[in-house]
Amino acid sequence: MEGTWQHTTVLLNEAVDALVTKPDGIYVDATFGRGGHSRLILSRLDASGRLIAFDKDPEAVAVANAIEDSRFSIRHQGFAALRELEAGSITGILLDLGVSSPQIDNPGRGFSFRSSGPLDMRMDTTRGQSVAEWLATASVEQMTEVIREYGEERFAFQVAKAIDARRQERGPLATTTELAELLARTVKTREPGQDPATRTFQALRIFINAELEELQQALEASLNVLQPDGRLVVIAFHSLEDRIVKQFIAKNSRDEVDRRAPFAAPRPMKLRSIERVKPTADEVKANKRSRSAIMRVAERTSA
C-alpha cells in the first residue's frame, strides 16, 4: 500500500521561509513528492494566494489530488513544463530534486539496490523506457558513457562490459538484485561505506529520467516566468545537480557582455544570489537522507 512508505521532507521550514515572500502570491512546487513543502506553503498563503504543483509520478499526483483546497492545483508533468506558465506570473519556484523516500523504499519502483524489484527506475511509470529495457539493447559504448557521466563511476567500462557479457550468456538483466550482484563482482574498490552499486544505480536513474536536461530547462524557464523579486529555491542532493544550479545562478548573477559588440552596454544580471543552506546536524541525525542536501536561493532582478 502507498501508505507503507513514508517521506520526511528535507529542509522543510528553511525552503518555505525562503520561498514565500508574499502571502497573496502565486507559487510553484515543481516536485510535489508527497506534499510536505506544498502543505506548508499553503499554510503561509492568504485567501488570494495560489500554489501550482508539478510531478511526473502518478502516485504523487494521486496524493496531490486528495488535497481539497481551491488555491491548489496539480499537473502530471515534469518541471520542464514550467515554460508553459505565463511570463512574469510567478512569485516563487521551489525545485526539490532527487528521489522521494516512497520511490526508494517501494521495491516495485526499482530505484534501490537494497531490495529486489523490477529494474524500472522511471519517475513516470506511464511512459518511456525502463532501465531494464534500455540495458537490453544499449551498446557497451553507450552504457559506458552514461555510467561514467551520470555516476562518475571510474569502473564504467568494466561495468558496461560485464552487463554485455551477462546478457549474452543468460539474457538481459530484469531485476535490481541481478544488477546489484553483478556490480558487487565488478566494482572492486569504492569509497568507505559506499555500496558498489551506488554510482551505477544513480547514473541509470538520472539518464532514464533525463533529470539533468530537465533541470537545465526548468532553470532557464524560471527566468521567464518569475516576477521581479520572485524567488528561486533549489534543493539538490548530489554534486551533478548542485553544480548545474550553482553555475546557473552564478552566470545570471552578473552583467553579461556581448563579445560581438564589446562597446555596447552589458545586459544587466537576471538573478541575485541570496543564500546557500545545508541541513542542521539535528536534521541529519533525524533523517540521514538529508545529509547531502544543499539548498540555493536566488531572487529575480527587475532587469
Specify whether 199 is located in the same domain as 218: no
Q: Which helix (H) or strand (E) covers residue 211, if one does?
A: helix 211-225
For the domain that residue 254 is a member of, what is the CATH number?
Answer: 3.40.50.150
| Residue 4 pLDDT greater than 60, yes or no | no
pLDDT of residue 265: 54
Q: Is residue 111 part of a domain?
A: no
Q: Is residue 110 part of a domain?
A: no
Query: What percent of the chain has pLDDT above 70?
Result: 93
The pLDDT, as a whole number, for residue 257 is 58
Q: Same structural domain for residues 264 and 172? A: no
Looking at per-residue pLDDT, the higher value among 45 and 115 belongs to 45
Mean pLDDT, the chain, rounded, equals 92
Residue 196 lies in a domain: yes
Give the pLDDT score at 194: 85
Q: Three cell numbers at 98?
A: 532527487
134 and 220 together in one domain: no
pLDDT band at 3 (very low <50, low <70, confident <90, very high): very low
Same domain, 195 and 224: no
Q: What is the pLDDT of residue 79?
A: 92
The pLDDT of residue 256 is above 80: no
What are the tens digits of pLDDT across the range 50-95? Answer: 999 999 999 999 999 999 999 999 999 999 999 999 999 999 999 9
Domain boundary among 188, 208, 228: 208
218 and 82 both lie in a single domain: yes
Cα(61)–Cα(45) distance, rounded to whole angstroms?
21
- Within this chain, do residues 23 and 163 fall inside the same structural domain, yes or no? no
Give a yes or no: residue 115 inside a domain: no
Q: Is 137 found in the same domain as 92?
A: no
- Rounded to an integer, what distance in angstroms lies between the CA atom of residue 221 and that of residue 213? 12
Task: Name residue 3's amino acid.
Answer: G
> 159 and 41: one domain?
no
Question: What is the rounded CA–CA span in Å between residue 89 and residue 72?
Answer: 16
Q: Are residues 188 and 233 in the same domain?
A: no
Single out the residue in 208, 223, 253 at which a domain terminates: 208
Residues 199, 217 within the same domain: no
Q: What is the pLDDT of residue 12?
A: 94
Question: Which residues span the domain enclosing 163?
Answer: 126-208
165, part of any domain: yes
Task: Grade residue 25 by pLDDT with cuts at 50, 70 and 90.
Answer: very high
- Give the 3-state secondary structure of residue 265: coil
What's the CA gap between 157 and 121, in Å, rounded?
22
Supply the pLDDT for residue 147.
98
Residue 118 within a domain:
no
Q: Band of the pLDDT at 268, cuts 50, 70, 90?
A: confident
Assess if residue 108 is contained within a domain.
Answer: no
Instruction: Please state, in angstroms and rounded to a whole number, the distance separating the CA atoms of residues 249 and 153.
Output: 27
144 occurs within a structural domain = yes
pLDDT digits (tens, 9 = 90+) for 119-161: 999 999 999 999 999 999 999 999 999 999 999 999 999 999 9
Same domain flag for 150 and 282: no
Q: Which of 56, 10, 6 is nearest to 32 (CA)?
A: 56
* Helix, strand, coil percentages, rounded to 5, for the chain: 45, 15, 40
Domains contained in the chain, number: 2
**Residue 261 has what pLDDT?**
59
d(CA 218, CA 240): 15
Boundary residue ending a domain (154, 189, 208):
208
Do residues 82 and 216 share a domain?
A: yes
> Are the beta carbons of 59 and 81 closer than 8 angstroms?
no
CATH code of the domain in which 147 resides: 1.10.150.170
- CA distances to 34, 37, 103, 146, 196 from 100, rounded to whole Å, are 8, 13, 5, 22, 22
